[in-house]
Amino acid sequence: MKLLLTGLSHHTAPLEVRERMVFDADSVPQALGRLREMAPTVQEALLLSTCNRTEVLLRCDDPTPTLSQVRNFLIEKSGMERSRMEKALYTFRDLEAVRHFFRMAASLDSMIIGEPQILKQVKDAHGCALREGQLGTILDGLCRRAFQSAKRVRTDTAIGRNPVSISYTACELARQIFGSLAGRAVLVLGAGKMSELTLRHLVGAGADKIFVSTRRYERAMEVARRVEGEAISFERMKEFLPQVDIVISSTAAPNVLLQKEDVTALMRKRRNRPVFFIDIAVPRDIDPAVNQVDNAYLYDIDDLQRVVDDNLQERKREARRAEEIVEREVQAFQLWFRNLAAGPTIAAMRKSMHDVRLDEFERFRARMTSLTPEQLAVVEEFGRGLVNKILHRPMVELKKSMNGNAAPGQVDLLRRLFGLTQEAETASPPQAREPRLAGAQEAPVDEIGRGNHDT
Amino acid sequence: MEIILQRLALGGYALSTLLAFASLPARRKVVFALAPIVAGAGLMAHLGAFMSAFQHMETAPGSAIRNVLSALALMAVVIYLYGYLRYRLYVLGIFMLPLALLLFLFSGWLLPESVEVSPAYNQPLLWLHIAVSTLGVGALFLTFTFSVMYLVQEKALKQKRPVSFFLPLPSLSACDRILYVSLMIGFGLLTIGLALAAVWSANMRGTFDVWQSQREILALVSWVIFGAVLYARLVTGWRGRKMAFLTIAGFAAVMLRLIGGPFL
């Protein structure tokens, strides 16, 4: 297969190494060019760089020298000592490389398993390499299959369903209570990073009326301006409670701000419409007994953390199922890869058989001196016809395998039977051998499919 | 033919009920689609059997509680399929399908043969009473289902173990809205149904007093419960857990009145 994947990630490298290895989106094309310069034997290459990993996936003729060239490229980029980098870099070959790439795209190798950004990042890396003409049939096919498997993991497992951050969990809980948050009012008590982040999620989910109240009114004004809300004075805060559906509380108050009795009275004023308290303050701002009031829901920071932990556990369980899906897709890729060789095999087989025919014809020519040119032509015609007839069936089978519905190993077998091993090993569609001209390809084209039309 | 169709429908309902429960942990869309397909097939067979039963029915419909139950089972399956196709509300299956299966079983085997009733009873008024009441009970299916969903969801949220993260239940607010609206519709239809029954009774027997058996008293009990719940909701904004519990109690009384015949 001659695939290599090398790079580093949060599994092997600490942040101070990773941060030196980040290629921002604009510098990737240049970096790919530099890579080709340093490693001329590379035939196809893709460079993926995120804050948690930098990896190069490539196809080459001779893996051993190529690998050290590519490592040199990465070490040059980092500007760190070789020994330190060598420790952080990992390498996967062939099927292992495919498996790693598929698992990574499906977010099984991520720091937070199941996070959705990685797929987009891989897609961007693919798009960039494609535009730069660095991808041929094989890596392009590999990427597309990786996307497909990642998508399948996402739809067939619950790996990305449950939120795993406190702020987003709080938002999801609000949606469990209220459904759509459109038209819901939120009161933020006390300002802080976490409460603002939670508020942002709520606004993203549709909440559109925001009140901010802090002990210092100026601070409330400041936050309110930022989140496009309305500042209210802390003393009058309780007057606004009946109109709000969600309360995010994170004040530094040493004692409880809202007692159970307050909320019982509040529920009467609200005619029992539900209210959701998110208390992320330590010490807590809201009496835990508030949760016992009908239609009032109270989550403190520990409650939210517990939900997050449960969800992480759930993701790990789902990850096991995802691994199975990925493994199936890796097998499918392997099959596809094997059948890729079918096109060149057809040509090689035809050539080899007709060479045999011509050799034999030359050998017998001396004995056929008595034949007229017309008769000689008939003999030649006979030979060609015979070879074509014999080749017919294997050709049909090979063409079938190009559409992907052949038994695994069929192409291998044919190659072995007709003694084509060497030629077919290096055979790959011509487009893959040379980088395409940038811009020469507007839309991804399936070379194999295109090759099929004139057969 | 009718027997075959009935058996087919029964098989379809039983299988789809099993599938609805069994595929809950699977979380795959493909698996989720199995129960609705089987239920749909059961529904077709059921419709066929129902039509044919309707044609051959010679007794007055009022006595043929079996047909009412059969129609209710049909409605439960239709509600389920609609919820699935329109809102992908898969969990509806674990409520509606067992309900349909139960009603269908009672309609086919568990109730005694319908009694012969004098043709004089066969009046449009009675027909109307049955049709309106049946539709009303159909609306209450939704009330019941969403009350249970509300309680499950509410309990999970209060205990801080949100169930909905693995069981895709609608939000509390959606449950509340649907249970409220369906209860209003169901209650309205039941009220009209009761009024029609009273008028019919007055016509036939010269008295408005239709409460002549325990079963009719159950109908009255459920009507009073629903009325009280709606009154409290409209006047004091009473809602939530207690409301869900009471509507479930009211629905239990309705079901007992319908299928409790042999036991009362």
pLDDT tens figures, B149-202: 999 999 999 998 876 545 678 899 999 999 999 999 999 999 999 888 888 878
**What is the end-to-end Cα distance of chain B in Å, rounded?**
33
Residue B245 to residue A46: CA distance in whole angstroms: 60
Contacts of A271 in chain B (CB under 8 A): 236-237
Same domain (yes/no): A141, A10: yes
B7 touches A: beta carbon within 8 Å: no
Which helix or strand (DSSP H or E) is residue A384 part of? helix A373-402
CB pairs under 8 A between A and B: 63
Distances (CA, A) of B118 to A336, B61, B80, B111, B256: 76, 11, 37, 20, 26
CA dihedral A110, A111, A116, A119 (to 10 degrees): -30
Question: Within this chain, do residues A140 and A260 fall inside the same structural domain, yes or no?
Answer: no
Residues A45 and A71 in one domain: yes
Strand A246-249 and strand A275-279: pairing?
A: parallel
Angle between helices A28-38 and A63-78 (to 10 degrees): 130
Interface of B with A in 156-195 (CB under 8 A): 157-158, 160-162, 164-166, 170-174
Domain identity same for A25 and A91? yes
Q: Where are the domains of chain B?
A: 1-118, 123-264
Task: Give the residue carrying structure tokens 């199922």.
Answer: A321
Q: Report the top-level CATH class of B123-264.
A: mainly alpha
**Same domain, residue pair A7 and A54:** yes
Beta bridge pairs of residue A53? A9
Tell me how close the Cα of B198 comes to any Cα of chain A, in angstroms: 37
- Distance in angstroms (rounded) separating the CA atoms of residues B246 and B74: 26
Whichever domain contains A23, its CATH number is: 3.30.460.30
A179: nearest CB among B171, B236, B239: B171
Q: How far is B23 from chain A (nearest CA, A)?
A: 13
CB contact under 8 A, A295 and B239: yes
SS3 A155: helix
| Boundaries of domain holding A284 | 166-308
Do A256 and A379 fall into the same domain? Answer: no
The token pair that represents A168 in the structure block: 């987003």
- Dump pLDDT digits (tens) for A248-265: 999 888 889 999 999 999
Give the whole-angstrom CA distance, residue A174 versus residue A7: 41
Residues of B in contact with A298 (CB under 8 A): none
Residues A114 and A222 in one domain: no
pLDDT in tens, chain A (455 residues): 688 999 999 999 888 888 888 888 888 898 999 988 898 888 899 999 988 899 999 998 888 888 989 998 988 888 888 888 888 899 999 899 999 999 999 999 988 888 888 999 999 999 999 998 888 888 998 999 999 999 999 888 888 878 888 988 999 999 999 999 999 999 999 888 888 889 989 999 999 899 999 988 998 999 899 888 999 998 888 889 999 999 999 988 888 999 999 999 999 999 899 999 999 988 999 999 999 999 999 999 999 999 998 888 888 888 999 999 999 999 888 888 877 767 777 778 888 889 999 999 888 888 888 888 898 899 989 999 999 998 888 787 777 666 555 555 666 777 777 777 544 344 444 333 333 333 333 333 333 333 333 33
Is there a contact between B240 and A272 if contact means CB atoms under 8 Å apart?
yes
What ipTM, to 2 d.p.?
0.84
- Judged by CB atoms closer than 8 Å, whether chains meet at A274 and B29 is answered as no
In the residue annotation, A51 being an active-site residue is answered as yes
Last residue of a domain, one of A293, A308, A323: A308
Contacts of A210 (CB under 8 A, 6+ apart): A185, A186, A187, A188, A199, A203, A224, A227, A228, A229, A230
Q: Are residues A68 and A184 in the same domain?
A: no
Which letter does DSSP use for residue A298 in this model? Answer: E
B 27-86: CB under 8 A from A: 27-29
DSSP letters spanning A45-110: EEEEE-SSEEEEEEEES-HHHHHHHHHHHHHHHHTS-HHHHHHH-EEEEHHHHHHHHHHHHTTSSS
Within an 8 Å CB–CB cutoff, is residue A314 touching chain B?
yes
Question: Is residue A424 located within the same domain as residue A351?
Answer: yes
CA dist., res. A93 & res. A57, Å (int): 10
Tokens of A144: 């597309």
The answer as to whether A404 is a domain residue is yes
- My answer on whether A181 and A121 are in the same domain is no
